[in-house]
Amino acid sequence: MNQPTAATRRTPEMVNGFSAQDLIRQPARAQDQIQRRAVLLGPGYQLFYSDPVEVERGHGAHLYDADGNDYLDAYNNVASVGHCHPAVVDAVARQMAVVNTNTRYLQESILTYSADLLSTFPAELDRVTYTCTGSEANDLALRIARFHTGAQGIIVTANAYHGVTAAVAEISPSLGKTSPLGAHVRTITVPFGGGVDGAAAAEHMRDQVRGAVADLERHGYSLCAVIADSIFSSDGVFTHPPTVLSVLAEEAHLAGGLFIADEVQPGFGRTGQGWWGFARHAVIPDVVTIGKPMGNGIPVAAIVLRHDIGQEFGESVRYFNTYGGSSVPIAAAQAVLDVIRDEQLIANAHHVGQYLIDELRTLTAPWPHIGEVRGAGLFIGVDIVSDSDSNAPDGVRAKAIVDDLRRHFVLISASGPAGKFLKIRPPLVFDRADAARLLQEFSDTLTRCLHR
ω into residue 417 within 30 of 0, thus cis?
Answer: no
pLDDT for 2 equals: 45
Q: Per-residue pLDDT for 3 more than 60?
A: no
- The pLDDT value recorded for residue 7 is 43
**How many angstroms from the chain centroid is the CA of residue 116?**
23
Q: What is the pLDDT of residues 33-77, one digit of tens each?
A: 999 999 999 988 889 998 999 999 999 999 999 999 999 999 999
Q: How far apart are CA 221 and CA 185, in angstroms?
A: 9
The sign one gets for the Cα dihedral 161, 165, 171, 175 is positive
3 state DSSP class of 86: helix
> 4 pLDDT exceeds 50?
no
pLDDT at 388: 73
Residue 379 near residue 266, CB atoms below 8 Å: yes
The pLDDT of residue 218 is above 50: yes
Mean per-residue pLDDT, 182-194: 87
* Top-confidence residue, 17 or 201: 201
Mean pLDDT of 100-126: 97
What pLDDT sits at residue 194?
A: 58
Report pLDDT for 193: 64
User: Rounded to whole angstroms, what are the CA distances from 49 to 74, 88, 244, 286, 402?
Assistant: 14, 29, 34, 38, 8
Which of 189-198, 242-251, 315-324, 367-376 is predicted with the least confidence, judged by mean pLDDT?
A: 189-198
pLDDT in tens, 147-156: 999 999 999 9
In the chain, pLDDT over 90 holds for what percent of residues?
83
Taking Cα atoms as reference points, which of 202, 340, 349, 229 lies closest to residue 285?
Answer: 229
Q: Read off the pLDDT of each residue in 22-35 and give the average, rounded to a whole number.
A: 91
> Can you tell me the mean pLDDT for 321-329?
97
Residue 11 to residue 34: CA distance in whole angstroms: 14
pLDDT of res. 241: 87
Give the pLDDT confidence score for residue 452 in this predicted structure: 55
Tens digits of per-residue pLDDT, 340-394? 999 999 999 999 999 999 999 999 999 999 999 999 999 999 999 988 777 788 9
Across 217-237, average pLDDT: 96
Terminal alpha carbon distance of the chain: 52
Count of beta carbons in the 10 Å neighbourhood of residue 451: 8
Q: Which helix (H) or strand (E) holds 415?
A: strand 413-415
Specify the range with the lowest mean pLDDT, choosing from 12-21, 43-52, 248-257: 12-21
Confidence of residue 9 (pLDDT cuts 50, 70, 90): very low
* Mean pLDDT taken over the chain: 93
Stated as kind and residue range, the H or E segment containing 330 is helix 327-342
- Given its phi and psi angles, is residue 232 left (phi above 0), alpha (psi -120 to 50 degrees) or beta? left
